[in-house]
Chain A
Amino acid sequence: MSGGADRMNGYFSARDLAMHFGGIRAVEGVSFDVRQGEVFSIIGPNGAGKTTIFNMISRIYTPSAGSLHFAGQDITNIAPHKIAGLGIARTFQNIELFANASLLQNLLIGRHCHSTVPILSQLVFLPSVRRAEVEHRRRAEEVIEFLGLQRYRDQLIANLPYGVRKVVELARALCTEPKLLLLDEPSSGLNVEETEEMAFWIEDITKDLGITIIMVEHDMKLVTAVSDRVMALNQGSILAMGTSAEVQSDPEVIRAYIGGEPEPTSDSAAGAAPGDVP
């Protein structure tokens, strides 16, 4: 890990990332690289700094130290609203949809970073605005079809079941036509079937659309099913990195989750979801 500290060998790379809130070191010295087209999962107990890393990548927080690079560009100090335009989209752990708008309207807001018509011509709704709107609508419709959301198209988000809202979050993120997708606990609050479905969507997104994914997730079954590589965090620092099986059999990781010495025989921790053990 430390060997390539100065090299940028990833499609997305974080170098010595740190985030301090006053005296609290939420994230400290975290470096990782994500290859193009892979699913990279971040796991760790509550408060390990997973969502903080996401918030730094989407520039809601400005890192206290370190740098972020995406597709050869330094994005550490880019304005938060420009992130979507660069091709980085995210979903939120606690759904952040526009509840009083229809599903379609939510997706069209996702198209915002691609709207280039000047505000003045929007005021008079020039033909160019109309053409652009029809095009946005067509793209949104493609995403609706991709994720099978047709029958909810005109419904208000407030009236949709939780599981569907999770998919809508995914759909809205896809509407920005991302190259890198950040998924913050895509399975939280979903039942077993919905989680399995989510795994299919994630696979489709990487395989069919070629989108690179960074995912924060607690459900180890989902992590194992979709991830190419996994990074385990604890208290703001990296514990282990590697394939899902490697990370789960790492003694440090087991100690962080269970809080004791690992049993020598337990080499298949894959099925046992560590869950939210503090």
Chain B
Amino acid sequence: MSQLKTEYAQDLALARKPSSLAWYALLLVILLLIPQTLSEFYVGEMSFVFIYAIAGVGLMLLTGYTGLVSLGHAAFLGIGAYANAILLSEGVPFALSLPAAGLITAFAGVVIGIPTLRMSGLYLAIATLAFGSIVVLVTEKWSSLTGGFDGFPVPTPSVLGLVITAPTGVYYLALGVLVLVVLLAMNILRSPLGRALVAIRDREISAQSMGINLALYKTVAFAISAGITGLAGALFGLYVRHLAPDSFGVLLSIQLVTIVFIGGLGSLQGAIFGALFVAQLPQVIAIVRDDLPFGIGRMPGLEPSLFGLILVLVIMFEPAGIHGRWLKLKRWCREFPLHKRAAFRRQKTYAKTDRLR
């Protein structure tokens, strides 16, 4: 608003201000230099954050922007991981197997999207939960394809003669995919497709009478979200090197939902903040575990209960998530001595959606 606009095309720019473009470029340069400067441990942890962030962007498009809750997104991660690993072991080059994994998962998204078109809120959550369990079950039983309980070793891929090895190779690959996926999501959000999704989230009836085909767009949302999550799954496979069916269960789905809620519904930056938080919380717990008083650190189930507690606190005190907090912090810094206290009051408005009633 501070900037005078002289052309309609200015509203279509990816970055609102040229300065933020410069910040993102700087961030990218730093991220590109990390493998050169930090130890392998941190490079591995960062790749894990990137993979979660890709899945987070995928789920954000579905839950944050279209208002459709999915408690079965780990299944898409699993489908992507297995699809990529199986294709690689069949000798398909990685340059093909990665996009194919995304497309196969997108198709799986359509398969779950169409029967759940008329569901909303809790019913959709339960249906996707069931879908997630079914996928785990199928992976366990279909051992001729997936290796069943024994798991599936993921071959080391190579692109143009470059072998993608565990920490550094996966790091750059995941970073590249994350950047592409974020660009894709930004393109969606500035085009009619993104507007249609948000319209469906906010008011279905109204969206329909504006000419938005609800069935089509919900299916598209499921497909894109699943496809992106499938890409994250393929990278996850390369990261862990060995797939097992139980790593794609309900707990992972809940973690993914936590990413979008803690990050802040309806914000791409939120998906990335949330991924950073959710992927690194277990590490933080591991570090402070031994120093906690009264043996809290040795209690079983510390991690899931902390996740739960944090999720509840975020929903109660900051429905806009980390992203909302971030916006408030920026504003506070800008206005510091003159800030109005009311602007930073506890917020009780939730993302308005017909579907989350």
Contact = CB atoms under 8 A, between A and B. Distances in A.
Interface of A: 58, 60, 79-85, 89-90, 92, 96-101, 105, 108-113, 115, 117, 119, 122-125, 129-130, 132-134, 136-138, 141, 154, 172, 176
A129 to B, nearest CB: 6
Contacts of B199: 98, 109, 112
Contacts of A122: 187-188, 191-193
29 contacts: A81-B211, A81-B213, A81-B214, A83-B209, A97-B206, A98-B198, A108-B192, A109-B207, A109-B212, A112-B210, A113-B211, A115-B192, A119-B193, A122-B192, A122-B193, A123-B188, A124-B187, A125-B187, A130-B12, A132-B192, A133-B190, A134-B8, A134-B9, A134-B12, A137-B11, A141-B8, A154-B1, A172-B210, A176-B211
A155 B9 CA distance: 19
Question: Which 3 A-B pairs give the minimum distances between C-beta atoms?
Answer: A113-B211, A84-B211, A122-B191
A111 to B, nearest CB: 8
B116 to A, nearest CB: 19
B202 interface: yes
B306 to A, nearest CB: 31
B315 to A, nearest CB: 18
A92 B198 CA distance: 19
Nearest to B7: A134
A113 B212 CA distance: 7
Size class of B's contact patch? 20 to 34
Identify which of A110, A132, A141 gathers the most chain B CB atoms within 10 Å of its CB: A110
B352 interface: yes
Nearest to B214: A81
Contact of B191 (A89, A105, A125): A125
Contacts of B12: 130, 133-134
Contacts of B195: 105, 108-109, 112
Given A99-B352, A124-B184, A129-B191, 7 more contacts: A60-B205, A81-B211, A100-B202, A109-B212, A112-B192, A113-B210, A141-B8
Contacts of A84: 209-211
B279 interface: no
Nearest to B185: A123
Interface in B1-49: 1, 8-9, 11-12
Which of A83, A122, A132 gathers most chain B CB within 10 Å?
Answer: A122
Contact of A133 (B191, B198, B211, B214): B191
Nearest to A89: B209
Contacts of A83: 209, 211
Contacts of A119: 193, 220
A79 B12 CA distance: 32
A124 B351 CA distance: 28
Contacts of B188: 122-123
Contacts of B202: 98-101
